[in-house]
Amino acid sequence: MRALLVANSVDADPGFVGERFRHHGFAFSECHRERAREWPDAHGVDLVVLLGSEWSVYWDDVSEPVAAEADLIRWAHEHGVPLFGICFGSQMIAHALGGSVSRASRPEVGWHRVETDEPEAVPAGPWMQWHFDVFSVPPGFREIARSASGPQAIVHKRTFATQFHPEATETMLDRWTTGDPGDLLRLGLDREHLMAETRATTEVSRPACEGLVDWFLEAVAGA
């Protein structure tokens, strides 16, 4: 089965999410946000996965690729192609389908639990959070998880989105926390502590991610 993976070229790792979709027979074609004009034709695809990004939807200097991604989201949603959005991907779904995106009054970075209405689908966690923006729930969508920061999981028809990062692996966090420690320090976080917590928590988050993808394929994509 054919799937599109929309991501920035420097961070196109779908982690545990990609691993589970591949387990179910999906093969990904990467669509780098920086080169939207080179994306393959979406007709005939069975799935679109939207990864996170360091971008913000509302930045003027990324307005062209944001518009291209929004067009893909609207097309997939209208044509019943299953959509699975993560973090920036969830914000893009909100932006494209009638919601809004804004700077978070309470940014979240690190392992956090969420309040969930459907724990069999979206467990309380802990889940990796790494976001400084939040989105509002688009018309027609049902919010099934949330935190003090804002919506954490939404679903409508064959489209599902999470603000948290179910795909997060130790390798991914090692990459995200390398370099300028400014954001971590401002939030009172320590890289070594966060990596130690990641090594321990992925023992729980990995099977939780597998269950989330399985639920998505059965209850959302299969609807």
pLDDT above 80 (res 131)? yes
Task: Let me know if 87 is a catalytic residue.
Answer: yes
Task: Let me know if 167 is a catalytic residue.
Answer: yes
CA distance 2 to 14: 15
CA distance 217 to 24: 9
Asked if 204 and 197 count as a contact pair (C-beta separation under 8 A), the reply is no
Asked if 85 and 93 count as a contact pair (C-beta separation under 8 A), the reply is yes
Determine which one of 31, 69, 87, 131 is catalytic: 87
What would the pLDDT profile of 1-15 be if each residue is shown by its tens digit?
Answer: 999 999 999 999 999
| Tokens coding 69 | 């991604």
pLDDT above 80 (res 164)? yes
| pLDDT for 117 | 98
Give the domain extent around 157: 2-220
Mean pLDDT, the chain, rounded, equals 95
Of the pLDDT bands very low, low, confident and very high (cuts 50, 70, 90), residue 223 is low
| pLDDT for 182 | 66
What would the pLDDT profile of 78-101 be if each residue is shown by its tens digit?
Answer: 999 999 999 999 999 999 999 999
CATH number at residue 51: 3.40.50.880
Determine which one of 31, 95, 108, 167 is catalytic: 167
What would the pLDDT profile of 15-64 be if each residue is shown by its tens digit?
Answer: 999 999 999 999 999 999 999 999 999 999 999 999 999 999 999 999 99
Q: How many domains does the chain have?
A: 1
Determine which one of 77, 95, 131, 165 is catalytic: 165
